[in-house]
Amino acid sequence: MKMEVERGVQANIGSLSHSNEQVEPEAAVRTCHNGTVSEIPTIDLNDPDQERLTGAIAEASQEWGIFQVINHGIPSELINKLQGVGREFFELPQEEKEAYARPRDAKDIEGYGTRLQKEAEEKKSWVDHIFHRIWPPASRNYRFWPKNPPSYREVNEEYANCMRGVVNKLFRCLSLGLGVEGHALKEAVGGDELEYMLKINYYPPCPRPDLAPGLVPHTDLSSITILVPNDVPGLLAFKGDRSIDVNYIPNALIVTIGDQIEILSNGKYKAVLHKATPHKEKTRISWPVFLDPPADMVVGPLPQLVNGKNPPKYEAKKYKDYVHFKLDELNKKWLLF
């Protein structure tokens, strides 16, 4: 029986001018920065055919573990604001950012941190970041929410409120795709206590991208990760022996399946192996939200999916124990610090 998901180690073209403007799925995916056509599935989350939508999400999660969603209902203006306030924070003087630093003795990951190196002679991570929970409201620790720019708090709270609809629809479709009730997966990761952990990754131009791999290939510890990128390439997904560039679609959300959904589905859905890299000339920024079960939530294969012919492939354990077990085997400096 598996103890944990084993793959890896644990991430402007313009914008639509109106929040109700629709993107055509067949026109959304074109080319990546290396000139090859992206094969990452793109799914219209506003598809009125619920059976087709469920099938598309289930197939993408089973075959890829990653997909992009368009027409998701989060206004493009709000995504632009989210990107704007995040960028403004990382452009502040270093001493202002350090006011939100993660305490050295903290057991939690919330707060600001940096792995930028002045000299690019050794292979190092090349990223500034900040973590803080945005949902549920009771989990928010405003000690780690920047006060500058002044609209940062308002924008992030509004984004969290809007994201809830996307999260609920994804969990429902993933559950139905497994042949279980629509509420099954969300309840299995905490229901209304599911935590939305926002991380902003800030990769400034890097003089030696070959020596600064960003984040090494990893799967996410979370159940699902929902990511807003900027228009600078740098996210790679792995499928078999191929690495595939995840191309930029204005205002789309990138959805990755994490370890907990793979475990709950007893391996039917796959946590995607992926990595992030900096750019030599441009600043790359991303806004992933990790949907984490509460620390004491026990996560294991759904009982509805296991039987004598399909035994559990993963051991049920508390989420905090899973995280500790996995991170113990990893080099934490590549992931969090």
- Supply the residues annotated as catalytic: 199, 218, 220, 274
Q: Hey, what are 320's tokens? A: 């905090």
Q: Hey, what are 62's tokens? A: 């089973």
DSSP per residue over 221-274, as a string?
SSSEEEEEE-SS--EEEEETTEEEE----TT-EEEEE-HHHHHHTTTSS-PPEE
CB within 8 A of 208, min separation 6: which ones?
120
Nearest 5°: CA angle at 271, between 270 and 273?
120
Contact indicator for 30, 244 with CB cutoff of 8 Å? no
Could you tell me how many helices (H) and strands (E) the chain has, helices first? 8, 14
Contact indicator for 242, 170 with CB cutoff of 8 Å? no
State the pairing for strand pair 66-70/42-44: parallel
Q: Hey, what are 233's tokens? A: 């390439």
Distance CA(312)–CA(300), nearest Å, equals 8
State the pairing for strand pair 253-257/242-245: unpaired
